């Protein structure tokens, strides 16, 4: 079987972050520091709404996570 490898990321490329399972139980400042670190590496970052949502122990409702809405 041949492995398909994507092209490497380059500075200026966009990275999308999504919350697909458990909620981030991190202080907001830690999340913001992570975004700043990705930005410092030269990448653009977009964050799905589900990254900041909580529904019980999940990162938003099933519908919200499936929708994958992004805001900057």
How much of the chain exceeds pLDDT 90, in percent?
29
- Would you state the pLDDT for residue 4? 92
pLDDT at 72 over 90: no
Ordered DSSP codes for the chain: -PPP-PPPP-TT-EEEE---SB---S-HHHHHHHHHHHHHTT-EEEEEGGGG--BTTBSS-HHHHHHT-EE-
Q: For the segment 15-50, what is each residue's pLDDT rounded down to a tens digit?
A: 988 777 777 666 678 888 889 999 999 999 988 877
């Amino acid at each position: 079987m041949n492995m398909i490898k994507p092209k490497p990321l380059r500075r200026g490329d966009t990275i999308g972050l999504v919350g697909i399972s458990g909620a981030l139980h991190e202080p907001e400042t830690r999340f913001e520091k992570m975004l700043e670190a990705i930005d410092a590496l030269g990448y653009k970052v977009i964050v799905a709404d589900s990254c900041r949502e909580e529904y019980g122990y999940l990162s938003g409702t099933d519908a919200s996570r499936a929708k994958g809405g992004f805001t900057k």
